[in-house]
Structure 1
Amino acid sequence: MAASGCRNVKLSKGQKKLLRKQAKAQHILLKQDGIATVSVPTKHLVVANGGLGNGVSREQLNEVLQKFGTVETLLMLPHKPHAFVTYSAIQEATEAYNNLNGQNLNSGENTKLITLYLNFVEDVVSEDVSHSSLPPGLLVVEDFISAEYEKRLLIFADGSPYATVENAQRSLKHRRVKHYGYEFRYDNNNVDKDKPLPGGLPEICDDILEQFIKKGYVKFKPDQLTINQYEPGQGIPPHIDTHSAFEDGIFCLSLGAETVMDFKHPNGLSVAVMLPRRSLLVMTGESRYLWSHGITPRKFDVVTASEMQKTRTITDDISNLTLNKRGARTSFTFRRVRTRLCDCAYPEVCDSQSTWECKDTPALVPSSDGDASKLEHKYVHDVYDEIAGHFSSTRHTPWPKVTEFLKALPAGAFVADVGCGNGKYLGVNKNLFVVGCDHSKSLAHICRERNFEVFICDGLLMPMRSGVCDACISIAVVHHFSTEARRLTAIKEIVRLLRPGGKGLIYVWAMEQERDNIKSKYLTERKRTTKTQEKYTTMPIVNEDQDVNQVDLAHFNQLKDNSKDKMNEKDSAKLPVHMNRTSFESQDLLVPWHLKAGVKMDSVSSLPPRGTKDITVFHRYYHVFSAGELENLCHSIPNMRIIKSYYDQGNWCVIIEKY
């Protein structure tokens, strides 16, 4: 392919196409991974399309590379679509460069065609992705049972009538599950402790339970068993088993095939752990309560090539990685149902403690305007000033129907965005003159950095002349006011700003997060982080495939008072703390916002740090609106009519007009 030393060398169409493809590969490597190629031959090559992330195994690639010389090192990084190879001599690397460039790789297990593109690099410098230790409290015991015992358990599992939970949770993707002792309920992520299943745990598991006790793995005998069967390509989303449901100590026996389980700490640290066939995974302490665990749905796992290293964490030795095809795997997971509230050392992620045992004075439903103002200051204004940077990083896509409203306005219209947040609607329609306002000085600062017109004010008293606006929008704001009178005042202020004929659009959170048998995105959509968001986001506390459930308030207070008849009026006025991604159980509640402590935010912190060194939990007040409630408020305001009311992905919405 090289044309050095020659003039006017005419290239064929095929050669020109290869050069274009090669140049494109160079550009992608530099742009996405910062890998700079060189034009002069070296012993080192980067092989585009020849990585583990592209479905290429070490054995496949090594087979073709060794045809051109002695391969000193072959570096394949986890989930990267390229690899690095170092030959013993420059001539050998040049031979590989000239002969393999543009050649198709024998696909093996892959169904797609893989074309290799090689380029010289100055040296091979790998990123440090190693982590040599397991999460604290995690133990993998190899060969916990014999091959004969495994066979008996698999026959039992295959012959046992499974409960297909697709109807309860679609994201399980037809994964088969069976419960013994107690049924795990996916609608509330807990067990019904008053309704044990008949028969208890199956007798075939008695030997396993005896080994648990003999080896000292348990302080108690498990009384709940979940059998899962995974076909190749199936997995389970990252989750933490609900604290309030089960005691410390979760034991998972892997049968039929090995797999890789991913563990993640809230600070972002990830550890991939190989679970060999017939091995026992023991999760206690920090690994049980704080780290999430899950199995990524895929047909191949990245593993260490040496059989002797299968129980090590996968990234212990990144110079020796390959692909391993998954087989059908059955897991027996044993737990002990909890009979009391969890009092673990991780209250920031504990559904028992984060819901009811807040360090601050419990928030109460306000009984006066003064109390309401104090509550909103603490659980709305201060919180948004604290989380402004993180909040802004998760709010960048305008909602379609809000965009539709703004784009339908005539050119030159003067519009106010009341409670504009980070200003994501201020630039939707360039033909409008839009000003934003927000109570949060930190969010207003973010808007100013984006060159938007914005000012700081209280939504109950806007510093603008009456009738000055052609249109107003208030998106996800009114639900932060904690009494009906204050919510009505906020809407009256919007109407006051409008000129006769002016229109307003108001969105509030809906109590009803499921409508016409369709769940809102709030209930169904998992968080997808961008690189910007990744440094802020913490792992949701979930069990299996949903977020944690909310503990019953009355039941908790009975336990806390140690008496069934000591429920006083003050306790009943406490605001419950909602568990994210679950249905609302109360109209007035506190909604948690999780982020890592110690992260440099876009705004200046005005509150002392709270939470632990790893996670900070903030609570925001919400009044979620029931069907018809928003319309009723609007109907009580004179000189205004409702043009349209509708439901939009978990929000009640109205378009109003002043007359």
Structure 2
Amino acid sequence: MAALGCRNVKLSKEQKKLLRKQVKAQHILLKQDGIATVSGPTKHLVIANGGLGNGVNRQQLSEVLQKFGTVETLLMLPHKPHAFATYSTIQEAREAYSALNGQNLKIAGNTQPITLYLNFVEEIVSEDVSPLSPPPGLLVVEDIISPEYEKMLLAFVDGSPNATMENAQKSLKHRRVKHYGYEFRYDNNNIDKNKPLPGGLPEICDEVLEQSMEKGYVKFKPDQLTINQYEPGQGIPPHIDTHSPFEDGIICLSLGAETVMDFKHPNGHSVAVLLPRRSLLVMSGESRYLWSHGIIPRKFDVVPASEMQKTGTIIGDTSNLTLNKRGTRTSFTFRKVRTTPCDCAYPEVCDSQNSRKCRDPSPSVPSSDGDASKLEHKYVHDVYDEIAGHFSSTRHTPWPKVTEFLKALPAGAFVIDVGCGNGKYLSVNKEVFMVGCDHSKNLVHICREREFEVFICDGLLVPMRSGVCDACISIAVVHHFSTEGRRLSAIKEIARLLRPGGKALIYVWAMEQERNKVKSKYLMEKKEKTIKTRENCTAMPIVGEDQEGDKVDLVCFNQLANVDEDTVNKQNSAKLPVHTNRTSFESQDLLVPWHLKAGVKADSVSPLPPTEPKELAVFHRYYHVFSDGELENICRSISNIRIVQSYYDQGNWCVIIEKY
């Protein structure tokens, strides 16, 4: 195929089609990753669809590229759908460019081949990778046992019946699990120290336990064991092993296959740790108590390509990575049951050291603007700053009708998201210029980390000139204002920002959670509830959906706050009732609980579920849920706007307004 810079060359229909796809690949590379291609030939190529993120491993791509010459550099970045290659001569790169464009590459395990598209680049600049340091207290001991001992342990697992505990079977139906010594109860995230299982730990484990004691990997001989078996594609959500049930020092033996475990500090620093087959993972101190760890559910891991690079635990060098297909991995996790409360140096995430944190469940309905401001400060602003990380981790998928509104805007439109949260709508339409604002400094910080244009402000006073916005969205924000006057002011402020002809989309929670005999997602119980499985360490909350449509951890409030509900029932109508999750709203002004592990920091995206109900932090958020027609009536009272459309969307009342 002719180079892109050639002219006056008559192309066949197939060549024209290929050229269009190649140009499209250029645009995608530039738009998504800032990779600028050049028309003239160079020694350097970018191969679209040829990256680790597409399931292509280094050996497969290298074999294809080396047919056309000497490949001096092959750079494959983690989870990216493209790769870079440098040939020793321009002619070799030109031949690869001409021969491989539009060619299919068959990938093992994929039913459909992928098509490669090549373009020249001026140079290859590898990403700067800061040296990664492992979590303090983390150790990976390779070849801790012999292959023969491994076979014995795996044969023991295969000969053992699956877990017989009814609740564990239901929670972990997609994973084989067996407990020894003590049963770990997933219903209350703890063990019953007064009910040890008969038989203790299997004698076959004595060899590895004695070696771990002798080498000082653990201070106490473990008396609790969980065996888990993971098939390719299975994993563990990020978690920290609960402090109160177990002592410091947890060891995990990996058998059958290697895997990659991700560790993350509450400040966001994360490292990927390779756990080789027959290795022992030791977690003590900070790595055991403060860092979350988990295994992403996938069938391939990004690992160093050479065996020499695999020596060591941290995967930090991106210059020589490839894909490794996962096999069936069996883990033996040993713990020592704690007999006294935990007194670790990390009280912010320690359930033993944190009593239940619960906001006052019964403030009064505000009677003045000053009271309303105080109420919103305590039950809206402070709460979202506290739960920002966890809240953000539950907000992923934009709502279809909000996406439809944003994508219908003309290219170059200036749009503001008032109350942008974690910014999930700020990148929906790449053709418009979007800015976001929010009262929560921690949510704004999360947006800035994602490189969005955002600022902190009050929704009643946005520091922008009047009439500068082509469009505005306000999704699940106005219902947090606690008087009718403040809700009216919030919508007037949105209208002020719009230019004449500009439109705004506003969503608020609806009092009516059932419409036309169809329940909203908030009320509907899924036939098959998704359960977050964690390995003997965290609670197993049901994953539901709230009015914003994203997955959130919902814990039955009835079992946690019966006392609070009894108190509320005795209070007069001026007190704000506490809503019970997944039930119809009984009042328009109420407090909606957000369940979070006590002591979790605001910037932690992996908060700890509770060990016991009494250890939960329950944060109450103020809401005014709108009745049918209420939102439209407020909008009609504003002189310079008209309602273009109003509708009901999964438990929300919604309007599109236009300024004139």
Contact 1:143 1:278 in 2 (8 A): yes
Report SS of the residue matched to 2:143.
coil
What is residue 224 of structure 1 aligned with on the other side? 224
Contact 2:167 2:186 in 1 (8 A): no
1:326 and 2:326 aligned? yes
What is residue 620 of structure 2 aligned with on the other side? 621
Q: CA, structure 1 residues 382+220, in 2 after alignment: closer, same or farther (shift >3 Å)?
A: same
Distance 2:275 2:292 in 1: 16
Deviates more, 1:278-287 or 1:188-197: 188-197
Distance 1:112 1:34 in 2: 28
Q: CA deviation at 1:340?
A: 3.0
The within-5 A match list for 1:579-618 is 591-592=595-596, 596=602
The residue identity in structure 2 corresponding to 1:92 is E
CA deviations over 1:275-302 (Å, ceiling 9, x no partner):
1111000011121122211112222211
The residue identity in structure 2 corresponding to 1:333 is T
Flag structure 2 segments of 5+ consecutive residues without an equivalent.
403-417, 424-438, 441-455, 489-505, 515-519, 532-540, 568-577, 584-590, 606-615, 628-648, 654-660
What is residue 243 of structure 2 aligned with on the other side? 243
Contact 1:3 1:9 in 2 (8 A): no
Distance 1:2 1:464 in 2: 62
Contact 2:376 2:481 in 1 (8 A): no
1:459 and 2:482 aligned? yes
Distance 1:115 1:368 in 2: 63
Contact 2:581 2:593 in 1 (8 A): no
RMSD, aligned CA: 5.3
What is residue 523 of structure 1 aligned with on the other side? 542
Flag structure 1 segments of 5+ consecutive residues without an equivalent.
403-419, 425-437, 466-472, 478-503, 555-568, 570-577, 600-616, 625-629, 632-647, 654-659
Distance 2:339 2:94 in 1: 68
Provide TM-score, normalisation by structure 1.
0.64
Q: CA deviation at 1:553?
A: 11
Distance 1:526 1:456 in 2: 18
Q: CA deviation at 1:388?
A: 11
The within-5 A match list for 1:232-381 is 232-313=232-313, 315-356=315-356, 376=375, 379-381=378-380
Contact 1:252 1:333 in 2 (8 A): yes
The within-5 A match list for 1:70-109 is 70-109=70-109
Distance 1:363 1:167 in 2: 31
Distance 1:550 1:351 in 2: 21
The residue identity in structure 2 corresponding to 1:206 is D
1:444 and 2:456 aligned? no
Q: CA deviation at 1:154?
A: 0.7
The residue identity in structure 1 corresponding to 2:283 is M
Q: CA deviation at 1:320?
A: 1.0
Q: CA deviation at 1:50?
A: 0.8
Q: CA, structure 1 residues 118+506, in 2 after alignment: closer, same or farther (shift >3 Å)?
A: closer
The residue identity in structure 2 corresponding to 1:147 is P
Q: CA, structure 1 residues 311+379, in 2 after alignment: closer, same or farther (shift >3 Å)?
A: farther
Distance 1:389 1:444 in 2: 21
What is residue 634 of structure 2 aligned with on the other side? none
What is residue 51 of structure 1 aligned with on the other side? 51
Contact 1:48 1:82 in 2 (8 A): yes
Report SS of the residue matched to 2:353.
helix
What is residue 145 of structure 2 aligned with on the other side? 145
The residue identity in structure 1 corresponding to 2:216 is G
Distance 1:464 1:384 in 2: 19
Q: CA deviation at 1:104?
A: 1.6
Distance 1:132 1:379 in 2: 39
How many residue pairs get aligned? The number is 509
Q: CA deviation at 1:42?
A: 0.7
Contact 2:379 2:622 in 1 (8 A): no
The within-5 A match list for 1:495-574 is 523-525=542-544
Q: CA deviation at 1:194?
A: 2.3
Contact 1:251 1:335 in 2 (8 A): yes
Distance 1:5 1:363 in 2: 66
CA deviations over 1:78-131 (Å, ceiling 9, x no partner):
111111001111111111111111112243443320211110001101223454
Report SS of the residue matched to 2:18.
helix
The residue identity in structure 2 corresponding to 1:214 is E
Deviates more, 1:26-35 or 1:242-251: 242-251
Q: CA deviation at 1:62?
A: 0.8
What is residue 656 of structure 1 aligned with on the other side? none
Contact 2:167 2:187 in 1 (8 A): no
Distance 1:255 1:525 in 2: 34
What is residue 110 of structure 2 aligned with on the other side? 110
Contact 1:304 1:314 in 2 (8 A): no
The residue identity in structure 1 corresponding to 2:334 is F
The residue identity in structure 2 corresponding to 1:459 is S
Report SS of the residue matched to 1:78.
coil
Q: CA, structure 1 residues 78+582, in 2 after alignment: closer, same or farther (shift >3 Å)?
A: farther
Provide TM-score, normalisation by structure 2.
0.64
Q: CA, structure 1 residues 145+368, in 2 after alignment: closer, same or farther (shift >3 Å)?
A: same
Distance 1:60 1:130 in 2: 28
